[in-house]
Amino acid sequence: MTIEQSTIALVITTLDDPKAADEFSARLLADGLIACVNVVGPVRSAYHWEGELCRDEEYQLHMKTSLERIDALKDAIEHYHPYDCPEVVILPAESSQSYSEWVQQCVQITP
């Protein structure tokens, strides 16, 4: 397997409900912004919010997309996400050539 330079990214966000995570994922898939998503959870999250230490169960979305679609994906997450300040973590990823090509094909922009 040949590892290719970064042409794709892993984008992570969280939601507080599995049904919401599935619906959110379906929208991003239908819009062609992500090639695939893994919904992981529940996970326990601890974070500061409005001066309080919070602990909640959440569901992580591990989304794969092309580097070219990052800005559109970020905009969609910020627009559709129910949180006031959604997590958007972007990790450029090296992958096999075949996987990278598949991701690129799934999210390519068509005129």
Q: What is the pLDDT of residue 105?
A: 96
Average model confidence (pLDDT) across the chain: 94
The CA-atom distances, in angstroms, between 10 and each of 30, 52, 55, 61, 93 are 18, 29, 25, 10, 6
Query: 32-67: buried (b, 16+ CB within 10 Å) or exposed (e) per residue?
Result: ebbbebeeebeeebeeeeeeeeeeeebbbbbbbbbe
Q: How big is the chain, counted in residues?
A: 111
**pLDDT of 82 above 70:** yes
pLDDT tens digits, one per residue of 8-49: 999 999 999 999 999 999 999 999 999 999 999 999 999 999
Q: Model pTM?
A: 0.92
Closest among 94, 80, 67 to 31, alpha carbons compared = 80
- The correct answer on CATH 3.30.70.120 for the domain covering 3-107 is yes
What span, in angstroms and rounded, lies between the C-alpha atoms of 71 and 73?
Answer: 5
Domain limits of the chain?
3-107
What span, in angstroms and rounded, lies between the C-alpha atoms of 102 and 89?
Answer: 22
Q: What is the pLDDT of residue 100?
A: 94
